[in-house]
Amino acid sequence: MQKSYSYTTPKGVAGGLMDLSPYSVDSRINGETEPGALKFGMGVVQGATPGTNVALPTAAATADKFEGLLLTGFTQEMDSTGEVTIRPKQTVGVLRYGKAWARLSKDADASYGDKLYLVTSGDEAGLFTNKASGNLAVNGRFVGAADSVGIAPVEIYNQQAAE
């Protein structure tokens, strides 16, 4: 018999907004062909058709191709195994600027104010870290430490460079 209950909710959820500070979200199409390749809270870059679709970053990704962080709109349902999957060609929300909960790479040990980098290769492509080596610097910072489930709050600044 259960004798204790936890009524606390987690601090955040991967891809969820952190607070009500100003933010901008662009609608894009999942350009990946594998269901579940993109996950909420990951960073994405321009896909085959810039301004229309997004994809996981590759080693060739550059900062000017970074689109933002995939936000959950809480519109997807779990399947029978409890998974929430972003399907190919599904419309997704991409946080252009604002604060949200990001998925972290295993080596991330971020704390408040650390620079934000996007992993661009391997199995962790699309995850964020505070490690510069081999990763893509994006216009943002960590605004808190990692949670026990591998997410942390980040602030992404407008990615478009001022003219």
Domains and CATH numbers, the chain: 24-156 (2.40.300)
C-alpha torsion angle, residues 29, 31, 36, 42 (rounded to 10): -80
Give the pLDDT score at 152. 96
Arithmetic mean of pLDDT over the chain: 89
Of 2-6, 106-110, 113-117, 126-130, give the lowest mean pLDDT range: 2-6
Q: Is the pLDDT of residue 10 over 90?
A: no
Q: When comparing pLDDT for 12 and 118, which is higher?
A: 118
Task: State pLDDT tens for residues 71-109.
Answer: 997 667 777 887 778 999 999 999 999 999 999 999 999
User: Which DSSP state fits 104?
Assistant: B
Instruction: Give CA–CA dist 123/129, Å, rounded.
Output: 14
Task: State pLDDT tens for residues 108-123.
Answer: 999 999 999 999 999 9
> Shortest CA distance to 105 belongs to which of 86, 118, 114, 115?
118
Residues of the chain with pLDDT > 90: what percent?
Answer: 74
Single pTM value for the model: 0.89
